[in-house]
Amino acid sequence: MHQITPFIWFQGNAEAAMNYYIETFPNSQIDHIERYAGDQGIPGEAELQGKVLTGVFKLNNQPFMCLDGGVQFQLTGAISFLIEFETQEELDSVWNRLLDGGTPQQCGWITDKFGVTWQITPNALGRMMSDPNATSEQKQALMQAMMPMEKLEISVLEAAFNNAKS
CATH number of the structural domain spanning residue 41: 3.30.720.100
Same domain, residue pair 32 and 82: no
Same domain, residue pair 144 and 163: yes
Q: Is the pTM of this model over 0.85?
A: yes
Contacts of 137 (CB under 8 A, 6+ apart): 164
Is residue 133 predicted with pLDDT exceeding 70?
A: yes
Same domain, residue pair 31 and 59: yes
Hey, is 160 helix, strand or coil?
A: helix
Residue 41 pLDDT level (bands cut at 50, 70, 90) = low
Counted domains in the chain: 2
CATH value at residue 143: 3.10.180.10
Centroid of chain to Cα 95: 10
Same domain, residue pair 25 and 87: no
Average pLDDT, rounded, for the chain: 92
CA 57/CA 145 separation, integer angstroms: 36
Tell me how long the chain is: 166
11 in Cβ contact with 67 (< 8 Å): no
Contacts of 43 (CB under 8 A, 6+ apart): none
